[in-house]
Amino acid sequence: MTISTAALRSLQALLGLSSAVLFAACAFGHGVAEGDASFLQSKQGLQFWPYVYLGAKHMVTGYDHLLFLGGVIFFVSKIRDVGIYVTLFAIGHSLTLIAGVWLNIGANAYLVDALIGFSVVYKAFDNLGGCERLGLNIRPEPMIFVFGLAHGFGLATKLQELALDPNGLVGNLLAFNLGVEVGQLLALLAMVLGLVMWRRHRHFTRHAIFANIVVMAAGFLLTGYQLSGYFLTD
């Protein structure tokens, strides 16, 4: 069987993208950059716009968020459904982010991040038809909301590790969350446009299978990395 030059080029591009996704997922994951952490701890009182900026930055560089959101909208063609799913994720994310830090609700960060990695695995597995083959009739809405809670709590555990000024904390958390939602919207627009163009490719179905396998592998790596941290860290 011969493979056309165009198909080879498409496969090479997809392999390159897949490698980048795997590297990004393992290298960056879900956290607050050292420079950003120092900035947050050095400021006192309400810092609205800096927190908005850092929230947006976290979202557009948070590869665990992007992998999950990309999986959620991968095969969704109706804008209405995209809006519903992203809104549910945003509500869940916002609730645990703000409440977790404000009320100082503690949890092991490794286990929370392992659950976030599992959310990536689950969505890619579902996109590959795995849930249907197992006879699991799981509606997407509750799962997206639940995993949104996990993603927000993951960031809350990171912020709890910082010495944040209690003065203006609620306002800063709201500003940070606003930035997260702005960053999410920007990332979502880019992903939707990319998927619209990708779906026009005649080999999209083949590429989609391979892409979701790669995303699922990235989710397993994220989960395994966090679980190893939990069991190996004193």
pLDDT computed for residue 2 by the predictor: 47
Residue 168 has pLDDT above 70, yes or no: yes
- How far apart (Å, rounded) are the C-alpha atoms in residues 117 and 225? 9
Separation CA 32–CA 29 (nearest Å): 10
Amino acid at site 24: A
Q: Could you tell me the residue ranges of all domains in the chain? A: 47-232
State the pLDDT at residue 201.
86
Return the percentage of the chain with pLDDT > 90, whole number: 62
- Supply the pLDDT for residue 123: 97
Query: Is the pLDDT assigned to residue 95 strictly greater than 60?
Result: yes
Distances (CA, A) of 130 to 4, 140, 223: 30, 14, 19
Confidence category of residue 36, pLDDT binned at 50, 70, 90? confident
90 vs 63 pLDDT, higher one: 90
pTM of the model: 0.86
As a whole number, mean pLDDT of residues 126-140 equals 93
Q: 167 pLDDT exceeds 70?
A: yes
pLDDT level of residue 169 (50, 70, 90 thresholds): very high
Alpha carbon distance 136, 130 (integer Å): 9
pLDDT score for 30:
56
Region class of 44: left (phi > 0), else alpha (psi between -120 and 50), else beta: beta
For tokens 């927190």, name the residue: 51
Phi, psi of 178 (to 5 degrees): -60, -45
Q: What is the 3-state secondary structure (H, E, C) of 14-39?
A: HHHHHHHHHHHHHHCCCCCCHHHHHH
Strand boundaries in 80-204, DSSP class E:
none
pLDDT band at 223 (very low <50, low <70, confident <90, very high): very high
pLDDT at 234: 61
